[in-house]
Structure 1
Amino acid sequence: MPSPCDPAFAPIGDVSTALLLIDSRLKTVHSGRTEFDPQQKELIEHYTASMGPDEVQDVLDGACTLIFMYMKWLRLAHEDAGKDVIEYVVPTLVATMRQMPRSIPTETIPTMVGLVVAAGTGLSPSLWRAQYGDWTKAEMTPLEATVFLVAEHINRITDDQDFATRLITDALSRAEAGEGLDDEDEDDDSVGA
């Protein structure tokens, strides 16, 4: 019997917008700046302010799809090395989150870790989170930070500051072009998280 958190039942969401937000954060960090470019920040704030509830939910689902795709990539990479993704990714993630109390309140860490563990075990982070009710405002920044931290973890592993973004844009391009995908990528592109 399939799990109610099976990714096949999850919405994909607005992956492009979620990726745009995360990529902007990654570029800001790697540029050495401590703040967003003011014009970029204004553009993003204007765009997000214009979203309705359905569009916001789509971006949240898109962020969960990013977590799912990133954790699937990490799981496969760790399995190739004979390691468990949960054992190697989650402790680092938790330690980093605990160092970010202004962005990630302590009470949101278990939920964010739950999203990552769900994805790392092949479950939909979006459907896993849905079991506990609607998203709260307090979870918005921690969710963004979680996607950022998992993407940055991939970038560090690959020693490539753009690898995590390319991983998703390449998958989206292949899906839009309807090109043949290998089985592993097909799962990532055809299901939500």
Structure 2
Amino acid sequence: MSKACDPSGAPVGDVGTALLMVDARIKQIHELDPADGDAAEYRELDGLFAASTDADGLQDLVDGTCTLIYMFMQWLRATHEEGGKDVIEYVVPTLVTTLRQMPKSVRPHTIPTMTALVIAAGTGLSPNGWRSQYGDWTLEEMNALEATVFLVAEHINRMADDHGFAVRLIADALPGGEHDGD
């Protein structure tokens, strides 16, 4: 494994904030009533967060998002291997199909990068390290990255038949993140 792709040397980033953003998006999709104006409130909160964060904070958020993808894919890999299945075979086609159905949010030319990022994570490579080999992130890739982490989390949630499972899985793994079952 190349040193750049070794997960032990990759920046972890701001996993907590990335997880909060995934959790908010999941709740926005599954729990909020659009008629109540909650979706607009979440968009406003996203905008306020972005406006209050400097370049280092945004890089930490991107790194944290990549770490989430890695952690989600490692859980998916272990779960699929227990059933004698290949994680790439069961996760990537659905991810690509869904990303292709989102042309306003996810530019088509970003889909190969997101696919490779998920494959890297699913094979035990650092998504952060893998991506760093190809230059800086682009602005267009940010929406695709957010959609990708959400879709991978949703894949886990569907497997568990629980809309909050993926977030709890990571929250419980974070220092001080033991879930009390509420």
Same-fold call, TM cutoff 0.5? yes
1:107-118 mapped onto 2 (5 Å cutoff): 107-118=109-120
Structure with higher RCO (Cα < 8 A, 6+ apart): 1
Q: 1:159 aligns to what? A: 161
2:4 counterpart SS class: coil
Q: 2:51 aligns to what? A: 49
Deviating above 6 A after TM superposition, structure 1's stretches of 4 or more consecutive aligned residues are none
Kindly state the Cα deviation for residue 131 of structure 1 after the two structures are TM-superposed: 0.5
Verify the 8 A CA contact 2:32 2:39 in the aligned structure 1.
Answer: no
Kindly state the Cα deviation for residue 31 of structure 1 after the two structures are TM-superposed: 2.2
2:103 counterpart SS class: coil
Q: 1:76 aligns to what? A: 78
Q: 2:149 aligns to what? A: 147
Among 96, 101, 105, the alignment partner of 2:103 is 101
1:1-193 mapped onto 2 (5 Å cutoff): 3-31=3-31, 33=33, 37-172=39-174, 175-176=175-176
Stretch moving more, 31-40 or 137-146: 31-40
Verify the 8 A CA contact 1:15 1:66 in the aligned structure 2.
Answer: yes
Percentage of matched positions with identical amino acids: 60
Number of aligned residue pairs: 176
Unaligned ranges ≥5, structure 1: 180-193
Unaligned ranges ≥5, structure 2: none
Aligned partners of 1:7 and 1:60: how far apart in 2?
A: 15
Verify the 8 A CA contact 1:94 1:113 in the aligned structure 2.
Answer: yes
Q: Give the aligned residue type for 2:151.
A: L
Kindly state the Cα deviation for residue 45 of structure 1 after the two structures are TM-superposed: 1.2
Verify the 8 A CA contact 1:25 1:36 in the aligned structure 2.
Answer: no
Kindly state the Cα deviation for residue 29 of structure 1 after the two structures are TM-superposed: 0.7
Kindly state the Cα deviation for residue 147 of structure 1 after the two structures are TM-superposed: 0.1
CA RMSD of superposed structures (Å): 1.7
Aligned partners of 1:56 and 1:36: how far apart in 2?
A: 24
Stretch moving more, 7-16 or 33-42: 33-42
Q: 1:190 aligns to what? A: none
Aligned partners of 1:59 and 1:88: how far apart in 2?
A: 27
Aligned partners of 2:114 and 2:57: how far apart in 1?
A: 21
Aligned partners of 1:95 and 1:40: how far apart in 2?
A: 26
Verify the 8 A CA contact 2:4 2:133 in the aligned structure 1.
Answer: no
